[in-house]
Structures are given as structure tokens and as C-alpha cells.
């Protein structure tokens, strides 16, 4: 019964998610141009190059970040609407009559989101290490545009990760009364801080997605000689 252009909301989701998926898949299989000086592309971090693995090293690690994004509560809403039209928008009905939610395979696997979160935090550790390392040029401190690009990227990824609904549940879930225990006050403070991030989860999801793609592109263009890095310090 909606008469407004509700489908307009779906277009940017389709364009950005599809564009990112195609680019990330191509880059993961490319297997080259992922390092330049102290910069390492986030698609290839941590850099694993075992001798028994003949393919691109990115394929060994991308499952972690990909699983985290694919099972994210916000992205689920976005791609269920944009790609499955299930439902296409608020107050717009889907064509399917039966509804099993996420109780059957493969969607029941979405429940692993909490575990992908733990993996994502581990990946953040590697990315922070890469960002710090990007300030070291031939053993000396320095700042290049790439250092800033890698730092902004990991900052946005950290904000996205810690705005996760599972983090909010870890901070304040399963608690009936914050003031009834000694640690309750501290926990309440953490929960409130995470809540203010969670309220911006959608924005952080898109910003961090675009940032990680552009960061990889920047390192790639440097590595293949298409552009030059500007040293600021």
C-alpha cells in the first residue's frame, strides 16, 4: 500500500555491496600488489605465505572478516531487503508465504556472529600492528599519506567492530540490575558507551566498508607504480 519510492533505498545497497564484492573477490584472487614499503593491504593482513599454499594468501584469511560482515545484524537486514526482497522494505510484503526466519540451513549459521566477532577482534590486532608499522620508514619514524590511510582505516574498522550488537550484549546483556553488584556501575558505563556506538552501527558499517576497499586500492596503486606516496614527515 506504500505509494512512495521505497525501492530507492535499495539501490545504493545493491550498488555498493555488489561493487565491493566484485572488487574484493578480484583482489583476493589477484595475489599480488599488496605491499609497498611499510604498507600492507588490509585484504592481505596478516600476511600468511605457507609453502604448501600455491594460491593467493588473501584466500587464507578473508573468511574471517567476510564471515563477520555477512552475519552482521545490520548487513543481514540490508541484503535480505536488497537482494532477496524479503521483505523489500518496511510495510512492503514479500511474495513468499511461509516464514521460517533464520531457523533452517543456511541462515541458521547467522547465529555464529558472536564467534566471528571474536575473530574480528583478533584481526583488528593485526591491522593496528600494520598501521603502527606504516609509520616506520627504513627504521625511522615518518609519516606518509599511506600511514594516515591505514590508520583511518583501522580506526573505522575498530569503531564498526565495537559498535557490534554482540559487543553491546557482552557489555550489558544477561543483567537484570546494574546497581546490584560491585562491578555493575563499571559495566553500566561500558554498556552506555557501546550503546552510543551501536546507535551509529549502520553508518560505521558503510564507512568502514568503503575505507577498507579504498585502503587496499591505495596500496595496490602504489605497489604497481600507478601513483606515488607523498611523505609528509
* Positions that interact with ligand FES (CB under 6 A): 72-74, 113, 164-166, 201
Nearer to ligand FES, 34 or 162 (CB): 162
What is the helix (H) or strand (E) element at residue 141, kind and residue range?
A: strand 140-141
85, 92, 103: which is closest to 5 by C-alpha?
92
As measured in angstroms, the least distance from the Cβ of 133 to ligand FES is 26
As a whole number of angstroms, the distance between CA 173 and CA 198 comes to 14
Nearer to ligand FES, 56 or 161 (CB): 161
As measured in angstroms, the least distance from the Cβ of 49 to ligand FES is 29
Nearer to ligand FES, 31 or 64 (CB): 64
Residue 68: count of CB within 10 angstroms of its CB: 24
Nearer to ligand FES, 27 or 201 (CB): 201
CB-CB contact of 169 with 162 (8 Å): no
As a whole number of angstroms, the distance between CA 159 and CA 95 comes to 37
CB-CB contact of 201 with 165 (8 Å): yes
Give yes or no for a cis peptide into 106 (omega within 30° of 0).
yes
Nearer to ligand FES, 44 or 74 (CB): 74
Residue 4: count of CB within 10 angstroms of its CB: 8
As measured in angstroms, the least distance from the Cβ of 116 to ligand FES is 8
Task: Record the cell numbers describing residue 184, joined without a space.
Answer: 555493575
75, 73, 91: which is closest to 13 by C-alpha?
75
As measured in angstroms, the least distance from the Cβ of 101 to ligand FES is 17
As measured in angstroms, the least distance from the Cβ of 124 to ligand FES is 12
| β-bridge mates for residue 89, sequence order | 92
Nearer to ligand FES, 128 or 137 (CB): 128
As measured in angstroms, the least distance from the Cβ of 114 to ligand FES is 8
9, 14, 41: which is closest to 146 by C-alpha?
41
Nearer to ligand FES, 73 or 107 (CB): 73
Task: Record the cell numbers describing residue 21, joined without a space.
Answer: 564484492
As measured in angstroms, the least distance from the Cβ of 165 to ligand FES is 4
Amino acid at each position: 500500500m506504500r505509494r512512495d519510492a521505497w525501492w530507492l533505498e535499495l539501490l545504493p545497497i545493491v550498488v555498493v555491496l555488489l561493487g565491493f564484492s566484485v572488487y574484493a573477490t578480484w583482489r583476493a584472487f589477484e595475489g599480488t600488489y599488496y605491499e609497498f614499503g611499510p604498507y600492507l593491504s588490509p585484504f592481505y593482513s596478516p600476511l600468511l605465505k605457507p609453502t604448501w599454499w600455491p594460491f593467493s594468501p588473501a584466500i587464507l584469511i578473508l573468511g574471517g572478516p567476510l564471515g563477520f560482515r555477512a552475519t552482521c545484524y545490520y548487513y543481514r537486514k540490508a541484503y535480505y531487503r536488497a537482494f532477496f526482497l524479503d521483505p523489500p522494505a518496511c510495510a512492503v510484503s514479500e511474495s513468499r508465504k511461509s516464514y521460517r526466519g533464520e531457523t533452517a540451513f543456511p541462515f541458521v549459521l547467522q547465529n555464529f556472529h558472536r564467534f566471528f566477532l571474536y575473530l574480528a577482534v583478533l584481526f583488528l590486532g593485526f591491522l593496528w600492528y600494520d598501521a603502527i608499522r606504516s609509520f616506520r620508514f627504513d627504521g625511522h619514524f615518518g609519516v606518509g599519506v599511506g600511514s594516515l590511510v591505514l590508520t583511518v582505516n583501522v580506526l573505522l574498522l575498530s569503531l564498526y567492530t565495537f559498535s557490534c550488537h554482540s559487543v553491546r550484549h557482552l557489555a550489558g546483556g544477561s543483567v537484570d540490575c546494574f546497581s546490584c553488584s560491585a562491578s555493575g556501575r563499571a559495566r553500566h558505563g561500558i554498556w552506555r558507551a557501546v550503546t552510543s556506538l551501536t546507535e551509529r552501527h549502520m553508518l560505521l558499517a558503510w564507512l568502514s566498508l568503503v575505507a577498507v576497499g579504498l585502503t587496499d586500492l591505495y596500496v595496490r596503486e602504489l605497489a604497481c607504480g600507478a601513483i606515488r606516496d607523498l611523505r609528509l614527515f
